[in-house]
Chain A
Amino acid sequence: MTADEIRAHIDPMRHEFAESRSLVLPALKFAQTEKGHLDRDDLAAVADAVGLTSAYVESVASFYDRLYLKPTGKRIVSVCVTLSCLLRGSDELLRRIEEREGLPHGVGTTDDGELTVQEAQCLGYCDRAPCVQVDVDETMGPLSADDVERLLDDLRAGDRPERLWR
């Protein structure tokens, strides 16, 4: 994504922040919506748009789990592994994904590049454990291993969203 596109996105929200540093996360999240991950050019473009050094922007980008520095699938499935979900069988969900998709520990990007599965810390759905989140749109639960299989099938068959908010 170009610095100009990022600028167009963050300029309207500049007044909300006292410091330009605060714009780094919104800028990175937006820059990621094009490809679903951030490459070096994207990071440099964010640095340019926000007016900070590339070292600083990289520090932020490499810290957050939901900012991806390697290519991802068109949808990201986050399986909660915090206490409630773990007690209610999230490890079972991951095991099924491992068997079905051949991903070690159920985590990673599928061979066809369609889906990325990751572990997540508490998603706030303890009353519906074990839960799963798709990108940032939808959190669902409680899910059985079979439910997860169906979810993966649906996501794989579905369209690629125009913007990949994660």
Chain B
Amino acid sequence: MNSPLAPDAPETATKTVTLEIDGRSVTVPEGTTVWEAAREMGIEIPVLCHDPVLDPVGVCRMCVVEVEGARTLVASCVRDCEDGLKVKTASDAVVRNRKTLTELLMADQRDTSTRDEKTGDDELFSLAREFGITESRFPGGNSRPVDSSSPVIDVDHQACILCDRCIRACDDIQSNWVIGRTGKGYKTRIGFDLDNPMGASTCVECGECAAACPTGALTNKPITVPIEAKRPLEDVDSTCPYCGVGCALTLKVDREENKVVYAEGREDSANEGRLCVKGRYGFDYASHAHRLTKPLIRKESHYPKTTLTGAMQRKDDGTRKNGVYPDYDKALSAFREATWEEALDLVASKLKGIRDEHGGGALAGFGSAKCSNEEAYLFQKMVRTAFQTNNVDHCTRLCHASSVAALLETIGSGAVTTVYADVRNADVALLTGTNATSNHPVAATFFKEAARNGTKLIIVNPHRPELADHGEFVRIKPGSDVSFYNAIMNVILEEGLEDTAYIEQFTENFDALKEVIARYTPEVAAPICGIEPDRIREIARTIGAANAMIVLWGMGISQHVHGTDNARSLISLCLMTGNVGRPGTGLHPLRGQNNVQGASDAGLIPMVFPDYQSVADDDVRARYEEAWGVPLDPVPGKTVVEIAHGTEEGSIKGMYILGENPFLSDPNVQRARDGFMNLDFLVVQDIFLTETAEVADVVLPATSYFEKTGTYTNTDRRVQLGQTALEPPGEARLDWQILCDVMTRMGYEQGYADVEDVFVEFSDLTDSYKGLRYRHLAGRGKLWPCPDPENDEGIVVLFGDGFPTPTKRGKFSPAEVIPPAELPDAEYPFVLNTGRTLQHWHTGSMTRRAKALDEINPDAFCEIHPDDLATLGVDDGGMVRLSTRRNHIRIKAISSTKTSKGSVFVPFHYREAAANLLTTDALDPVGKIPSFKFCALKVEKA
């Protein structure tokens, strides 16, 4: 292990320079530009091509200033301050120059600006107004075209002033590299890829270019109501409802229409203002006509329950008919509308009846990682107190349960040890089992940026992710992770690259690890993982020599029957090389849902109360019994798949499902569906009539993300505040209030004054949230633990001085190779891998009702290697029948070398071709997570 570079180098004082701007003296650090220095002094120098988040290029010349002694006016955005410089920012010459420049630029503009009409912030038109330019003396009209091919962005090349802001936003901020300049001279304009229409380019619709554009050249298309500057819009600071990155954004809300009109990233945030296509353009599901507005009770005539309403209806050209569920009205017709009183009474009496007759263990609840900390806390409180059982779980079980199990076992904490942006300080980043550009798109921009700045990315995955373009891609065989990492560790030990001092000081059980991995030489691992021994050695040396390595992983690690072992291997690798507890090092399981970290923290887990306190521990239980005032069940509850199996065998008779959709998301979903159909009573609280809600007895209309206030904890452990932007539709009710109503009716009275009251109770009971209040959570939010929320952001890098284990040491937990639950054979020769796409979220309840997202990604598809397609005699885009031992689906096949030969990748968003009909419900024995990433599959031409 190399020693850190000059660890004891004294901090050198920053050099400063002193200059004079507009007659005032100013001292700034060396390297400050004149534009920045002026800004510090409160002097705004107008600028078009520059934005503080971009590297300055000095092409527009609007920011010119007069520098005494200089031959010409200089562009202040690229001119560094120097000692003794005398600058005039608004002399007559400067103003005359700017005015003429504005007039020249205006010559090519249309009479009005699209940006001004939409959002009222065209920077060029604003300068023209300031200089009183109503018409230009210069010949104009570049007759450059418009391009409306993108579903989310209008391109008007005529309004483009070639400032390059979009190019730098695309290249330097999002690292997508789609935009360039095409042509030369007067005809020059921006071009996408090979000068394609924007909609036919590799653009991923993140919208960063439209956010950066100063004119009407790139503007957002309307998603809900027209974007019009004349509409009075209200800014609501909130966060994104989709993934675990939890991007902070500002919603622009039309109160009168009760709609979000558009969204912008917040600069003062951990995501630094960046958003992806879902965050920027996927908010409109909240206003969809399918929203539930009244409580629903199943009609007597609709018993016994039948299965889901029909398949998707299609137009003659094969495209989907508008809307997601063609038979939505038919599905709704199984229910009658009811009052809240009636519905809540029915829910409470039915659940109470089952509880009193069969015991609390006959009830179960699925909460959701889409809900806030407050809702998650109340939901588990409801199940534990009113239902009197610990049968409460949520989608973390299907997500990172194995990672958390491994982390708790080894280092005593299930959360990340550092933030995703710490990749900037790493010299090696190991990204494994993650397709971050699709699933954590904004975090991925930080990874790509780090790669550009010299961090070596090692991407280990069976399916080739886009990130592979930015680092070294290691395509291991599906399900072979443990062998690969054991071999890496074998080489590290063999070649003495481990950090002995760290192992000595901070770890235990190292001998047991050594004993196991001694057997996994690269030669032993190579045939299992498919990587040549010498390549394994090379990678091990890169990792061993790294000063700081960070490991980030996703579902490709966790969703296996050996998911816990996979995570243990990564943890051992970090402990062995001393890569925890310093900047640029650490373990970061990239959390999937916006609040999966928080929902777990809040105790939406069958074995633990909030803060991971074991329900089986008498002292812990006594504490919660005192806090909640009722006796609590000492027996850990059942997990997601165990509950589904319980419904099948009849031990679970009643269920409450909040915001989850197991009818599409559970593994071997037909079996799960059959089980849920078997329930005596099912209540679903959701915003749409989801597939699961279709078979409910009572459906309670909930509020969407945009209609409520609450806290959400992102993948970084960052607690942020989501704020109310919209009024709930119809009689839809705040989720926390619904839960309180049910609890009260079940005899467990709740009397919170408001939602923050719930947060206070939760944070008071939860050490890692202790002291946090809503007032602390503006801006960047707070990372837990946060000992001083008034003054500090919270602890970024954890465990620099030991771990929260009884011995304060991290424990090596060696893992042996175990095979996947179901290996390919002659009848089912392929390997099925499931996952997500950039535009869709999980079971699609939200995103398939989001106009832009649905338009970009309308149809179910799978990815198959071109060689396999050729063997099958199927054309690219042709239909295939995929079958496993459990079920089959018919789906469009896309030819792709992202997937390796013999593997098929199926996104699980699509109701009409539900990937989870195929998956196996075999579980990891420790994390109880299903093997979504591996089962045997047959592929036929359909």
> Is B a genuine binding partner of A?
yes
**Interface of chain A, helix or strand or loop or mixed?**
helix
Contact between chains at B193 and A54 (CB < 8 Å): yes
Contact between chains at B177 and A59 (CB < 8 Å): no
> Is B465 in the interface zone, CB < 8 Å from A?
no
Determine which of A40, A43, A44, A56 lies in contact with B177 in the assembled complex, contact meaning CB atoms within 8 Å.
A56
Q: Cα distance A40–B193 when bound, in Å?
A: 10
**Nearest Cβ distance between residue A116 and chain B, in whole angstroms?**
19
**Nearest Cβ distance between residue B57 and chain A, in whole angstroms?**
15
Contact between chains at B194 and A44 (CB < 8 Å): yes
Q: Cα distance A57–B182 when bound, in Å?
A: 10
User: Which chain B residues border A98 with CB–CB below 8 Å?
Assistant: none
> Is B184 in the interface zone, CB < 8 Å from A?
yes
Contact between chains at B191 and A59 (CB < 8 Å): yes
- Given known contacts A55-B192, A55-B193, is B182 in contact with A62 (CB within 8 Å)? yes
**Nearest Cβ distance between residue A35 and chain B, in whole angstroms?**
16
Determine which of B179, B191, B192, B202 lies in contact with A62 in the assembled complex, contact meaning CB atoms within 8 Å.
B191
User: Which chain B residues border A55 with CB–CB below 8 Å?
Assistant: 177-180, 191-194
Contact between chains at B177 and A58 (CB < 8 Å): no
Contact between chains at A59 and B182 (CB < 8 Å): yes
> Is A53 in the interface zone, CB < 8 Å from B?
yes
Determine which of B180, B184, B202 lies in contact with A58 in the assembled complex, contact meaning CB atoms within 8 Å.
B180
Contact between chains at B180 and A59 (CB < 8 Å): yes
> Is B195 in the interface zone, CB < 8 Å from A?
yes
Sort chain A's interface into a size bin: 10 to 19
> Is B183 in the interface zone, CB < 8 Å from A?
yes
Chain B, residues 167-184, CB within 8 Å of chain A (1/0): the string is: 000000000011111111
> Is A63 in the interface zone, CB < 8 Å from B?
yes
Of residues 176 through 214 on chain B, the ones whose CB sits less than 8 Å from some CB of chain A are 177-184, 191-195, 202
Chain A, residues 42-67, CB within 8 Å of chain B (1/0): the string is: 01100000000111111100110000
Contact between chains at B183 and A63 (CB < 8 Å): yes
Determine which of B177, B184, B194, B202 lies in contact with A63 in the assembled complex, contact meaning CB atoms within 8 Å.
B184
When C-beta atoms are compared, the residue in chain B nearest to A39 turns out to be: B194
When C-beta atoms are compared, the residue in chain B nearest to A47 turns out to be: B194
User: Which chain A residues border B184 with CB–CB below 8 Å?
Assistant: 62-63
Sort chain B's interface into a size bin: 10 to 19
- Given known contacts A40-B194, A58-B195, A62-B191, is B177 in contact with A53 (CB within 8 Å)? yes
Q: Cα distance A55–B201 when bound, in Å?
A: 10
Contact between chains at A59 and B194 (CB < 8 Å): no
Of residues 86 through 105 on chain B, the ones whose CB sits less than 8 Å from some CB of chain A are none
User: Which chain A residues border B183 with CB–CB below 8 Å?
Assistant: 62-63
Q: Cα distance A54–B178 when bound, in Å?
A: 8
**Nearest Cβ distance between residue B155 and chain A, in whole angstroms?**
14
User: Which chain B residues border A44 with CB–CB below 8 Å?
Assistant: 194
User: Which chain B residues border A56 with CB–CB below 8 Å?
Assistant: 177, 180
Contact between chains at B194 and A43 (CB < 8 Å): yes
Q: Cα distance A57–B180 when bound, in Å?
A: 9
When C-beta atoms are compared, the residue in chain B nearest to A59 turns out to be: B180
Of residues 109 through 139 on chain A, the ones whose CB sits less than 8 Å from some CB of chain B are none
User: Which chain A residues border B195 with CB–CB below 8 Å?
Assistant: 58, 62
User: Which chain A residues border B202 with CB–CB below 8 Å?
Assistant: 54
Of residues 600 through 650 on chain B, the ones whose CB sits less than 8 Å from some CB of chain A are none
When C-beta atoms are compared, the residue in chain B nearest to A60 turns out to be: B180
When C-beta atoms are compared, the residue in chain B nearest to A65 turns out to be: B184
User: Which chain B residues border A59 with CB–CB below 8 Å?
Assistant: 180-182, 191
Q: Cα distance A163–B183 when bound, in Å?
A: 26
Can you offer 30 A-B residue contacts whose CB atoms are under 8 A?
A40-B194, A43-B194, A53-B178, A53-B180, A53-B193, A54-B194, A54-B202, A55-B177, A55-B178, A55-B179, A55-B180, A55-B191, A55-B192, A55-B194, A56-B180, A58-B180, A58-B182, A58-B193, A58-B194, A58-B195, A59-B180, A59-B181, A59-B182, A59-B191, A62-B182, A62-B183, A62-B191, A62-B195, A63-B181, A63-B183
List A residues at the B interface (Cβ < 8 Å). Answer: 40, 43-44, 53-59, 62-63
Given contacts A55-B194, A63-B183, A63-B184, 11 further A-B contacts (CB under 8 A): A44-B194, A53-B178, A54-B193, A55-B191, A55-B192, A56-B177, A56-B180, A58-B191, A58-B194, A59-B181, A59-B191
* A-B pairs, 4 with minimum CB distance: A55-B180, A59-B180, A53-B177, A62-B182
